[in-house]
Structure 1
């Protein structure tokens, strides 16, 4: 199969309903009306947002994993990456960097250096003294954030993928532009509305003003607009060819002040920017954008590009983009099914796993590990349906009820869910007082991972017991809305898409934690599982909106994983040294690609493979739909299994991926395993291998 491609199966929602053997629950309650809130809590560890956001924003749920999160944490002075610039700000200035890129066999990183810093040389005297030193976030959308410097009369419109940084100066102010580099030359056009600045690091910057002005050298490293009001736009000229500067000139008049990303129809996402000024809007698209961009409303400038850790950023003209992901078939069971001749082996393992399940209570109180055990049991129920072993389903149903209900009704003594009104989201009881509990869930780390497992289990239980599903629907939707709320005004308890980044088109997991390298995500497969599980919830409750949105987010997360985490031999997206040594990224950051994991070193290749594969479910065959790449990554990881102390659970994931291209060999190895990951089972691995075998028999 082609690289970076998702197999399209072409099932519609209606066809799935007809073909699947599940109980469809009539939608008796709107998912967005009177949304359920778990008991409120006042966390003792969450940061205070009022220091960073303007007062009008504090009454609505705030982002906890956004592209500008560093601007609202601690001192607010760590940079964030906006494509193509990294941007940092203090209380009185904003710095931008066209980051340099470095690469080794272990990591790739972008380094921030304040190439240009913009600030007011004089401050306004007509500002409330109590707020005079504050830089505030005065507005944000899916694709932009607005920063105000009240004492300086400066407002910055920062848009994702804009080749310009735009500053509005509200009243006559001395505005300075300084640099850490030497200024070799600065000069203006005849109209005094365009200014060229050449630095000794081989960078050339161009500054545009909305009205004539004078830019003078006020010090060896500082240029100043004296008494200026209006708009200033700043852009790096990305190459020496005169065409680059000419393109920047042509599109310098129109600038974005906000940008929304809207799901307009199945598997279609539309970017809509609000622009000021005259002419067409020039923005930049990363490689995944270009893969799915429909050119109906946008024109690609193939010869205009900036470098980026995410691949070349290419110019696109148009204030509305239509992005069409691949269609992904979200189903309860394997897409092609299991051949009846394979039933006995799976059923034998299934009966044993259910017997152990029924006699082994859950002892962990961790929301992550507890959720994995819930989802593991739910997999057994669906496999039982697929191999016609329905007599074990009642035992699984009881297990799921006993495990899930205490988290939904607040009777679980070891932990549970609470609602945080300060930022707008769910916390765990343990996490509300301990940053380290539940892997930082209490500071909004990993929400889609943990809740995705619970949503999966709830969806399966609602499928096999519709009455139970109706009883707990409000709580079920609350768990899902925490990470997949689409921003409907009637659901004001949660921010829009807590983890999913509408520009990079994948999720981040870092939460309210400040990182110099920006946001990060380790396990793409668990992110896929979250949105896949939400789509299954849509199936269980007959909710086409939830099904459609979950399906599309699943598709986008998969395509992003295949683009930026899956590293194929001979790929040119990353530098050769990194590509040669790595078949998969461990942790992807906004400004770094790391071969290590949070919990393991780079040489633990089986763990790196496993954390980007688990949990194994029907959606896995779409995430790893490229047989050739499966062979590459398994052959890369297999030698690491000879290390001392490698756990059986991680071996199981390597063998599972081997089953895509070497089914018999993988089956033999799986039969010899003596242990499994806590979210996996022998039943699940046998189901996986035998559903692969069907396709070749």
Structure 2
């Protein structure tokens, strides 16, 4: 065996060892879902197959949403071995190993949040979600399906590659509409001939085909159950006054799924299209019990309709009009799967099995880590696995065995390039995680290293002496979680420089004493608008909107906007304070651990075992970055503006994990950074060689605002170029150079910023020149040491002390 193969075997053996813990924890998932979930082995197979109740209330033993299809097991094709072999899971960890293997998803805590946070019910009740589900589940607030329980509930949920929404009578149709758009349908503007264009978007409302039923009309209802990070169950029901309560259509919405699948219970299926059906053809069955139809639409697309029909029932479809396909009779417990036909053979091979939900698990061993999105499934098919679509950043990090699962065809996504088809129930990704980046200035510029000359130390010391004399309370005791956090973090970095770079005990003592006092106001929750614990969505929110009645106050914090941005600053400040205090022999970390951990749990709870917060509220383990939009209706779906404040929150989690000795948290933060680096440089930070975003958009260098359905090179607060580019820079920290490569920064500076930066007179000027240190630290250092430098060039979250220390710390000075 080669050395490389031996290392690979050791690595994956370690991964499988750690999964023992995860599978044991799975037995307690019933505390999270509204119905129990377990893991069942398939007889004669080496692969474990999850069997899940979908969490529908008032379940029946014979008919209804929780009958047989949800409890059937998966047939495993022996020709496609499972990626995870459970026979290896009975090993135990070797505690003496030189490099321990760390489970990335260990709960931070499972206790009820402190009574420090007053309990509230959120003013926005999730529509279509019962009180029982609210009580027994955690509801993600920044997930792909928020549109389905806020506002008018008729805006899209972007599953990728498909888009679905509740059609409430448009075109006379009632049901779940399905759309898939291609890059040829995108609109570019405002001048489509420009290069770069300012934005591109995909059309919405093109109802290619929809799940419906003859019984559906304006009195139908849509309820939601089993909310999770990757999926939710949609239950559509006709009027109970007309038809009683035993009729429903159950559709699990799962990210990346190759089919949209629905289970009909005591309904007469109907399928509608606003595009129009040109023809409907019955085709040969791909499998016993599966009926196949192909619907050709007037736009040139074709859609496959596959029905898995229990023995003893008849099922046939026919065109009743150019816009309607109707089943011949009412059916029960019939699974219907719909997909656009790109590769008909692949659809045939995978029809009959569908994804019901997904989970994620992962480990890290030193700087090597892996994470797996594991899809739970129901039914059976010829392939023995699911048809899934992977995003570009998944594919480039796939474990080598994934190549055998590739099907060789793609579908366009909305804003993340083309997705690749795989026959698998697991997406397994491998990353090298940044274990070496900690608190000290760090750079990826080749040949550069810290050089704190005596002159540099003198200049940094002069700046620190002046800046520690500022009024910390005046800058931190604000009515904004965001701006308070930025100020706390600014002063934390001054304290760091004073202690670890200047090694000046006097400046350190002054800075740390003042900063601890300012931070303690938040740790006591006695700021202007104290934080509350929301029993509805199970999270920590500012009380500002409860007082003002404006959901957008403090950037929408009360409605779960931007939590990772805002709390990320607080967590990072706490990590720095704790790092310094621990070095001085203090106990600050122990005294503040519960408070800071609560903030981490709100934005990045790593486990469904912790029932007091949703799993990974902000960061999407599917998309590879966070979504900032919370409980707000949006036709273009979730969005994120500031990539840099996103990775700053992951960096903060990594450092806080280091300070408190939580190896899982530290490694998880590092894994998030590794994934963000890959995803952000695919979708949000565009090098000249980027092939994922449209060629006529990449010259913008940054996405501006990345939505699920459009990309707009702008900001929510202005259209000046320094705003658009700069919001993807702040704050400049040691991890900035890890995400923003020297080559990318140089391209952005040369093409967009070098002519603008010298003309600025406000804090954006300092931001741009601090970012310059990521590829040209010498020019950055010269700017901040220039006799013409003014404090007006410093943003409210920035200090001259840190900018000087960073530029010098990454090789900006030689004398």
| Same-fold call, TM cutoff 0.5 | yes
The equivalent position to 2:298 in structure 1, one of 179, 184, 200, is: 200
Cα deviation for residue 566 of structure 1 reads 0.8
Is residue 188 of structure 1 aligned with residue 282 of structure 2?
Answer: yes
Residue 389 of structure 1 aligns with which residue? 503
Residue 612 of structure 2 aligns with which residue? 493
For residues 235 and 205 of structure 1, the distance between their equivalents in structure 2, rounded to whole angstroms, comes to 6
Q: Is the 8 A contact 2:451 2:814 kept in 1?
A: no
Residue 394 of structure 2 aligns with which residue? 289
For residues 231 and 430 of structure 1, the distance between their equivalents in structure 2, rounded to whole angstroms, comes to 47
The equivalent position to 1:439 in structure 2, one of 532, 549, 555, is: 555
The equivalent position to 1:621 in structure 2, one of 737, 741, 747, is: 737
Please, what is the CA RMSD of the aligned residues? 2.5
Q: Quickly say closer, same or farther: Cα 1:253–1:170, change in 2 above 3 A.
A: same
Is residue 578 of structure 1 aligned with residue 697 of structure 2?
Answer: yes
Q: Quickly say closer, same or farther: Cα 1:432–1:328, change in 2 above 3 A.
A: farther
**CA shift digits 1:599-637 (9 cap, x unpaired):** 011xx222222111111111112111x221111111233
**CA shift digits 1:214-249 (9 cap, x unpaired):** 1111122111112233111111013xxxxx111111
For residues 34 and 143 of structure 1, the distance between their equivalents in structure 2, rounded to whole angstroms, comes to 25
The equivalent position to 1:537 in structure 2, one of 656, 675, 679, is: 656
For residues 305 and 395 of structure 2, the distance between their equivalents in structure 1, rounded to whole angstroms, comes to 28
Is residue 178 of structure 1 aligned with residue 272 of structure 2?
Answer: yes
Q: What SS class does the counterpart of residue 260 from structure 1 fall into?
A: strand
Is residue 64 of structure 1 aligned with residue 141 of structure 2?
Answer: yes
Q: Quickly say closer, same or farther: Cα 1:164–1:477, change in 2 above 3 A.
A: same
Q: Is the 8 A contact 1:76 1:90 kept in 2?
A: no
The equivalent position to 1:141 in structure 2, one of 206, 222, 228, is: 228
For residues 434 and 263 of structure 2, the distance between their equivalents in structure 1, rounded to whole angstroms, comes to 43
Residue 580 of structure 2 aligns with which residue? 464
Q: Is the 8 A contact 1:210 1:232 kept in 2?
A: yes
Q: What SS class does the counterpart of residue 232 from structure 1 fall into?
A: strand
Residue 484 of structure 1 aligns with which residue? 604
Is residue 505 of structure 1 aligned with residue 624 of structure 2?
Answer: yes
The equivalent position to 2:359 in structure 1, one of 244, 250, 260, is: 260
Residue 188 of structure 2 aligns with which residue? 103
Cα deviation for residue 501 of structure 1 reads 1.4
For residues 353 and 383 of structure 1, the distance between their equivalents in structure 2, rounded to whole angstroms, comes to 12
The range that moved more, 48-57 or 570-579, is 48-57
For residues 332 and 623 of structure 1, the distance between their equivalents in structure 2, rounded to whole angstroms, comes to 16
The equivalent position to 2:208 in structure 1, one of 96, 115, 122, is: 115
Cα deviation for residue 108 of structure 1 reads 1.4
Residue 442 of structure 2 aligns with which residue? 335
For residues 178 and 789 of structure 2, the distance between their equivalents in structure 1, rounded to whole angstroms, comes to 53
Structure 1 segments unaligned to the other structure (5+ residues): 1-28, 125-130, 239-243
Q: Quickly say closer, same or farther: Cα 1:135–1:448, change in 2 above 3 A.
A: same
- What are the residue-to-residue correspondences of 1:554-633 with 2, within 5 Å? 554-580=673-699, 582-601=700-719, 604-624=720-740, 626-633=741-748
Q: Is the 8 A contact 1:63 1:495 kept in 2?
A: yes
The equivalent position to 1:156 in structure 2, one of 244, 248, 251, is: 251
Is residue 425 of structure 1 aligned with residue 551 of structure 2?
Answer: no
Q: Quickly say closer, same or farther: Cα 1:102–1:163, change in 2 above 3 A.
A: farther
Q: What SS class does the counterpart of residue 394 from structure 1 fall into?
A: helix
Residue 664 of structure 1 aligns with which residue? 778
Residue 225 of structure 1 aligns with which residue? 327
**CA shift digits 1:71-115 (9 cap, x unpaired):** 110221110111111100146510001124223401111112111
Q: Is the 8 A contact 2:565 2:645 kept in 1?
A: yes
Q: Is the 8 A contact 1:354 1:395 kept in 2?
A: yes
- What are the residue-to-residue correspondences of 1:238-317 with 2, within 5 Å? 238=342, 244-265=343-364, 267-278=369-380, 279-296=384-401, 299-301=404-406, 303-308=408-413, 309-317=415-423
Is residue 234 of structure 1 aligned with residue 338 of structure 2?
Answer: yes
For residues 578 and 209 of structure 1, the distance between their equivalents in structure 2, rounded to whole angstroms, comes to 42
Is residue 685 of structure 1 aligned with residue 763 of structure 2?
Answer: no
Cα deviation for residue 133 of structure 1 reads 3.4
The range that moved more, 75-84 or 133-142, is 133-142
Q: Is the 8 A contact 1:38 1:419 kept in 2?
A: no
Q: Quickly say closer, same or farther: Cα 1:504–1:376, change in 2 above 3 A.
A: same
Residue 99 of structure 2 aligns with which residue? none
Cα deviation for residue 559 of structure 1 reads 2.4
For residues 168 and 695 of structure 1, the distance between their equivalents in structure 2, rounded to whole angstroms, comes to 67
**CA shift digits 1:495-529 (9 cap, x unpaired):** 11111112112100111011110001001111111
**CA shift digits 1:355-386 (9 cap, x unpaired):** 33569654632111111000001111222233
Cα deviation for residue 482 of structure 1 reads 0.6
Is residue 371 of structure 1 aligned with residue 494 of structure 2?
Answer: no
The equivalent position to 2:460 in structure 1, one of 337, 340, 346, is: 346
Q: Is the 8 A contact 1:146 1:155 kept in 2?
A: yes
* TM-score in terms of structure 1 length: 0.88
For residues 268 and 473 of structure 2, the distance between their equivalents in structure 1, rounded to whole angstroms, comes to 75
Residue 176 of structure 2 aligns with which residue? 94
**CA shift digits 1:641-672 (9 cap, x unpaired):** 2797x443111222223223333323222334
Residue 241 of structure 1 aligns with which residue? none
* TM-score in terms of structure 2 length: 0.76
For residues 399 and 254 of structure 2, the distance between their equivalents in structure 1, rounded to whole angstroms, comes to 21
Cα deviation for residue 573 of structure 1 reads 1.5
Cα deviation for residue 396 of structure 1 reads 1.5
Q: Is the 8 A contact 2:261 2:354 kept in 1?
A: yes
Q: Quickly say closer, same or farther: Cα 1:643–1:517, change in 2 above 3 A.
A: farther
For residues 697 and 108 of structure 2, the distance between their equivalents in structure 1, rounded to whole angstroms, comes to 48
The equivalent position to 2:114 in structure 1, one of 33, 36, 47, is: 36
Cα deviation for residue 46 of structure 1 reads 2.9
Q: What SS class does the counterpart of residue 731 from structure 2 fall into?
A: coil
Q: Which has the higher contact order (CA 8 A, sep 6+)?
A: 1
Q: What SS class does the counterpart of residue 49 from structure 1 fall into?
A: coil
Residue 24 of structure 2 aligns with which residue? none
For residues 473 and 264 of structure 2, the distance between their equivalents in structure 1, rounded to whole angstroms, comes to 69
For residues 690 and 423 of structure 1, the distance between their equivalents in structure 2, rounded to whole angstroms, comes to 45
Cα deviation for residue 416 of structure 1 reads 2.0
Q: What SS class does the counterpart of residue 140 from structure 1 fall into?
A: coil
